[in-house]
Chain A
Amino acid sequence: MKNQPARSRRSVSASELAQMGVCEQRVLCEHLYGKPRTVQQRADAARGDEEHRRFYEARKGRCFIATLVYGESREVMVLRSFRDRVLRASPMGRGLILAYYRIAPGVCKVLAERPRLIRIVRGLLRLLVWGAERMTKDGGARDV
């Protein structure tokens, strides 16, 4: 007997192929009759999707503290200028930049869930911005 395909046979996803390790008969049944899901299976799938989303979010790591706190703003420009003109000029500064890149995504993750903490950090960063502005104007920038 030749089975009637429910859909194209010429492509397979890794997760579909994985079902061959569960039950080949089930692979055939899915192909012939579609994929009805029990309530429990639907709930499990939804939970799986949600955990995958979290897993993905946890690793994106694109956030930097000042950008999270201020958005693209003058303060961020000042801090970038401080990084490039003052910190990059010395080995210790470059080490600090590297350390910052390593910790920033973690800090952002913590901050993203705590708006009150963002307000506090914004206040504290103001001091850093003020200091950075003075240093880039007065000293550090002169010989770069």
Chain B
Amino acid sequence: MFELLAVMILLAFLLAWRWRRRESAWMPRELRRAELAYAEKLFKARGPVTLTAKVDRAYRRRDGVIVLVELKTRRGHRHYPSDVIELSAQRGAIMKETGETVALRAYVLVQDLSRRRTVHRVDLLDEGQVDTLIERREAILSGRLQPERANSAKLCQTCVYKDRCL
């Protein structure tokens, strides 16, 4: 009986090891030993403008600092300034709601159509920069400020507002 048990345990280890390897192959070294603190959780930072942020994953490192990971499904393996803004806003919302420290460095996990994943380390904006961006957005929406236009012909070509905007 004990031989059978040993084989079962070995098999279980093997299956689990294969699964873990596949599931966490993308993980940067600093997150391998971190615990998952939040997954798909909504945070709210109240202020003149309430900031809400849904976090894909947030890991708590051994030193207690939270590190954010954002999953993006796209065709090309690259990250954009909008990813940095989104993660920075998430950072601000978590810090304001929980009081926890969130790293100024985060990860964008890009997954393509064939489910291949690459991870991109990004430096985030600080809270002041996020607040400035929120104020700028408010000013644009209220007509106090002229918005800047994208300078990418490719982006404009596929934009649903191109007839109204150009």
Q: Could you tell me the distance between the alpha carbons of A124 and B12 in the complex, rounded to whole angstroms?
A: 12
Chain A interface mostly: helix
Instruction: List, in ascending order, chain B residues with CB within 8 A of A60's CB.
Output: 39
Known A-B contacts A33-B164, A110-B15; A24 and B140 likewise in contact (beta carbons under 8 Å): yes
| CB of B40 closer than 8 Å to a CB of A | yes
Instruction: List, in ascending order, chain B residues with CB within 8 A of A110's CB.
Output: 15-16, 19
> Which among A13, A22, A51, A124 is the interface contact of B150 at CB below 8 angstroms?
A22
Q: Could you tell me the distance between the alpha carbons of A40 and B63 in the complex, rounded to whole angstroms?
A: 43
Instruction: List, in ascending order, chain A residues with CB within 8 A of B17's CB.
Output: 103, 106
Q: Could you tell me the distance between the alpha carbons of A20 and B85 in the complex, rounded to whole angstroms?
A: 8
| CB of B50 closer than 8 Å to a CB of A | yes
> Which B residue's beta carbon lies closest to that of A125?
B8
Name A residues whose Cβ lies closer than 8 Å to a Cβ of B.
1-3, 5, 9-15, 17-31, 33, 36-38, 41, 44, 47-48, 51-52, 55-56, 58-61, 65, 102-107, 109-110, 121, 124, 127-128, 131
Name B residues whose Cβ lies closer than 8 Å to a Cβ of A.
1, 4-5, 8, 12-13, 15-20, 23, 36, 39-40, 48-54, 56-57, 71-73, 80-87, 89-90, 93, 111, 130, 133-134, 136-138, 140-143, 147-150, 155, 158-161, 164-165
Other than the given A20-B85, A102-B16, A103-B17, 18 more pairs (CB < 8 A) read: A11-B49, A14-B51, A17-B51, A18-B82, A18-B83, A20-B82, A21-B80, A24-B140, A24-B148, A24-B149, A26-B150, A29-B165, A60-B39, A103-B13, A103-B16, A107-B15, A109-B23, A124-B8
